[in-house]
Amino acid sequence: MDHQAHGLDLSHPVYVHPRRAQFRLQETESPQHYAGHTSPLYPNGVGKTYGLAKFEHEKPSTPNPTLVSHEGFFTDIPGFENLAEGHSAKALGSLSLARQGRWFYWGYSIDPERMTQPAKDTFVNVLYWMHLQRDSETVAFVTNTRKNFEVFTWLGRDRDEPYLRGVQEHLPGSLVPELREHYVPSFDGADAFVAKYLPYLFAGKPGMPTDKKYGPLFDADADAMALKTPNNERASLERWVALADGDSCEDRRRALRCLERYVHPEITPKTGTWTEWYARQKARICFIDSTGFWWQVDPTVRTREARAARVQ
């Protein structure tokens, strides 16, 4: 990443108050390798040109690593703020300004000799914005998200010499051995794998295997697949709840295993029916991949509850 950003929502408080950050956007032809892709700040793609904003006067003299969020690895975390993307040679979707709970990532230098005036103004605003976040709840990282597998289907595919390590090495290396057998290591194989398994992938559960290089290994949920219930959809959770409280049958057993697998132990029902549990938790919960593929308490709900407790 260099010294520039794009995709800024200039109406967000970090660009507005107490300082008005007046970036002069330099309209620039968008890189060819951004074409056809989306990101949290470009849900419909970039277009032929985009506006670059300078956060530093000059390009850094050394590489400047940034957070990678291709296609939005963290968009399933309620309250996560994507506030700018870095000008990345790698791909669209590299975060340079982002917030999760009490943590803000600033991907540029804050040396006043390097910062532009609008960057200084933005940084001052960020400090005030973060002052408001003292009670904001963060969520912990357990595993990469399933979004990785989508990235493998396109990363380096259009090059004259396609980048093959992703589909030949990294994708199968991220799977449990049993699932690896169902994968053909090629771009077409990656397409087919994603089409069939992506809605049912999960990782990071207690007892699941972990690889030294790739971390928690992914499996495909046979129960969820049999029920045709993608594991992160609310309609699936509601189906499992209905089946769990229904008559005994194979689908009920599958649904109970899904509930055990995906409802976080912190909120799993201790008494009563699943229907009663869901009525109590419906407005409080969300599904997050990166915490370990759980239905869990929404961190923004937890934040409100913490703030309410301070008022009492």
Count of residues making up the chain? 312
CA angle, 294 then 298 then 302, to 5°? 130
Residue 40 interacts with another protein (CB under 8 A): yes or no: no
CA atoms within 13 A on the CB side of 234: 8
Cα separation, 148 vs 171, in Å, equals 8
Provide the minimum distance between the beta carbon of 64 and another protein in the complex, in angstroms, as a whole number: 6
Residue 271, judged by CB atoms within 10 A of its CB (0-12, 13-18, 19+), counts as: exposed
**Range 178-207, binding another protein (CB under 8 A):** none
Residues 79-118: x/- map of binding to another protein (CB under 8 A)? -x-----------------x-xxxxxxxxxxxxxx-----
For residue 120, state whether it binds another protein (rule: CB under 8 A): yes
Among 8, 52, 77, 237, binds another protein (CB under 8 A): 77
Of 10, 25, 130, 179, which lies in the binding site for another protein, with binding defined by CB under 8 A? Answer: 130
* 296 lines the binding site for another protein (CB under 8 A): no
- 33 or 170, CB closer to another protein? 170
Cβ 22 to another protein shortest distance, Å: 16
Provide the residue type at 15 as one letter: Y
Tell me the closest approach of the beta carbon of residue 248 to another protein, in angstroms: 38
**How many angstroms separate the CA atoms of 100 and 104, rounded?**
7
CA distance 166 to 176: 16
Sign for the CA dihedral angle at 176, 215, 225, 69 comes to: negative
SS3 at position 97: strand
Contact track, another protein, 220-239, x by CB under 8 A:
--------------------
CA distance 1 to 182: 37
How is residue 24 written in tokens?
């002069």
247 contacts another protein (rule: CB under 8 A): no
- Binding interface with another protein (CB under 8 A): 17-18, 60-70, 73-74, 77, 80, 98, 100-113, 120, 124, 126-128, 130-134, 136, 138-145, 147-148, 151-152, 155, 166, 170, 288, 290-291, 304-305, 307-308, 310-312
